[in-house]
Structure 1
Amino acid sequence: MSDHERIRLVILGGAGVGKSCIVKRFLFNTYTDKYRSTVEDLYNREYDLGQVQLKVDILDTAGDLQFPAMRRLCIATAHAFLLVYATTSAPSFACVKRCFEEVREQRPDFQEIPIVVAGNKLDLASTHREVQIEDVSEWLYCELPKLRAKVMECSAKDDYNIKDIFRCFITLSRILRPVGEEVVGGLKRRSSAYVSASKGGRRAGSPAGLEASSSTPTSEGSGGLEVAKAKPRSRSLIRRSSRKAKQQMRDAHAEDCHVS
């Protein structure tokens, strides 16, 4: 893993749902009720996560869809998406669905892109709710293909769940992973014999054996590598035994036909 990671988070959603309020609450801990239409605002921040230095570009986009070329460029260059709707507005949730369809059309890798769908204005939901989180979850988890995504509700005004939204992207992006998961995740497709050998190492409960079978061979005498080498030989013996058994069956069948 490199010492530096850079991701671009693009925020999409309809006008007036509170996209800018979420960003400013997170970055500056400020909030205002005054509405100002956003064309495009870009914020840059660096975070020390211990293992890596994370550089984040947060792109706050327009909600009125007046700049389609700019919107396509934002979607094409994003590493993650925050799709924002208002819990008090059913049309804003319909707009989020359209935003997702734009992402799906333009990004063939959309299933691997971290996506958080956030319902803002939770502070008004008790009296003016129009979108149930169950409906959002059903759409995201049941109606769509399998995604790297999560649904959350928040309130920029009350500073509720704002930091959790951005923490969620760290998990979905898999920037910080356990060492064992990182090694396995970096492997290319392996043969069934190699997988079986690796599984045998896991059953034995030896992390060192797993690393040896998962890495490129650098020395002889590794127990994990010996298991991996022995497996194909046993498979060849099975093939020869199988061919011999089939030949015996054919010979027996030929004798039966001759007798009849």
Structure 2
Amino acid sequence: MADLERIRLVLLGGAGVGKSSIVKRFLFKTYTDKYRATVEDLYNREYELGGVTLKVDILDTSGDMQFPAMRRLSIATAHAFMLVYASTSAQSFQCVQQCFEEIREQRADFQDVPIVIAGNKSDLATTHREVRVEEVTDWVYCELPRLRAKVLECSARDDHNVKDLFKALLSLSRFLPVGNSNESNTGLKRRSSAYVSASSSRNKNRNASPSVSNDKKSIVEAVDVASTSDAKLKPRSRSLIRRASRKTKQQINNAPEDCNVQ
């Protein structure tokens, strides 16, 4: 039976910044201007790499902060984070800083968890910019220098840098070697089409390690295969994870307090 490697990517950020639009543009090559508040949506794909199955979960969370228990659980069980703000909203960047504080408080390993900070709506930034990318990079790389993080601006509307966001997360997660220029002939094949849920079943696969050994092949085509538009949807139950592992709970209880965001 093939080994299973699992990575769970969790998107956090304020309401209306475009988290769902980024995910849907990446997975289905679709975009809509209509806004629908998200409670919690889970997308999943499986890939084969040699004899190893890579399972990628993408969790799109609520931005209105009305479900604190669900947020805590998603933070506790994530292998990587995408923190999304809108380049046109200074308040949304403050929300991203708050999200990072939640990660820092709940995760003892917050400095080792891959984080991509995504500035969406770059297509509107020429006329409505409120957050300069230099401001974000100064915060990430100067005030928080020990994080495993990357900053990118993107546009879900124009499909600008959306694929690069997920490539960056895979690279930071050590699935995809940094600086690899060979993006073809990797032997990666998708096993199953994507499915989305509004989250409610027990997940029997508990927090598998998000990293794989260095001798495995590059999986740069993961993001290329995932962005095909012929994916079929399957419903799943309403809550994606009912509990964190005992190890994760211990990490939360022992979270350090030595990193402050100014």
Above 0.5 in TM-score? yes
Q: Which residue of 2 aligns with 1:69?
A: 69
Q: Which residue of 1 aligns with 2:139?
A: 139
How far residue 53 of structure 1 moved from its aligned partner, in angstroms, is 3.0
How far residue 48 of structure 1 moved from its aligned partner, in angstroms, is 3.9
Alignment of 1:121-200 (within 5 A): 121-176=121-176, 182=214
Is the Cα–Cα contact under 8 Å of residues 121 and 154 in structure 1 kept in the other structure?
Answer: yes
Return the alpha-carbon distance in structure 1 between the equivalents of residues 120 and 154 of structure 2.
5
Q: Secondary structure at the match of 2:111?
A: helix
Amino acid corresponding to residue 160 of structure 1 in structure 2: H
Distance 1:14 1:80, change over 3 A: same
Is the Cα–Cα contact under 8 Å of residues 122 and 153 in structure 2 kept in the other structure?
Answer: yes
TM-score by length of 2: 0.66
More strand by share: 2
Is the Cα–Cα contact under 8 Å of residues 51 and 176 in structure 1 kept in the other structure?
Answer: no
Amino acid corresponding to residue 149 of structure 2 in structure 1: A
- Identity level (%): 73
Alignment of 1:1-260 (within 5 A): 3-49=3-49, 52-176=52-176, 182=214
Amino acid corresponding to residue 11 of structure 1 in structure 2: L
If asked which structure has higher relative contact order (CA below 8 Å, sep 6+), I would say: 2
How far residue 182 of structure 1 moved from its aligned partner, in angstroms, is 3.7
Displacement over 4 Å in runs of 4+:
49-52
May I ask how many residue pairs the two structures share in their alignment? 180
TM-score by length of 1: 0.66
Larger-Rg structure:
1
Return the alpha-carbon distance in structure 1 between the equivalents of residues 162 and 48 of structure 2.
19
Return the alpha-carbon distance in structure 1 between the equivalents of residues 168 and 140 of structure 2.
16
Q: Which residue of 1 aligns with 2:255?
A: none
Amino acid corresponding to residue 175 of structure 1 in structure 2: F
How far residue 155 of structure 1 moved from its aligned partner, in angstroms, is 0.3
Amino acid corresponding to residue 35 of structure 1 in structure 2: Y
Is the Cα–Cα contact under 8 Å of residues 167 and 176 in structure 2 kept in the other structure?
Answer: no
Distance 1:33 1:137, change over 3 A: same
Is the Cα–Cα contact under 8 Å of residues 118 and 151 in structure 1 kept in the other structure?
Answer: yes
Deviation per CA, 1:58-77: give whole Å up to 9, x if none.
11000000010111000000
Q: Which residue of 1 aligns with 2:195?
A: none
Give structure 2 stretches of 5+ with no counterpart. 179-212, 216-262
Q: Secondary structure at the match of 1:117?
A: strand
More helix by share: 1
Distance 1:32 1:106, change over 3 A: same
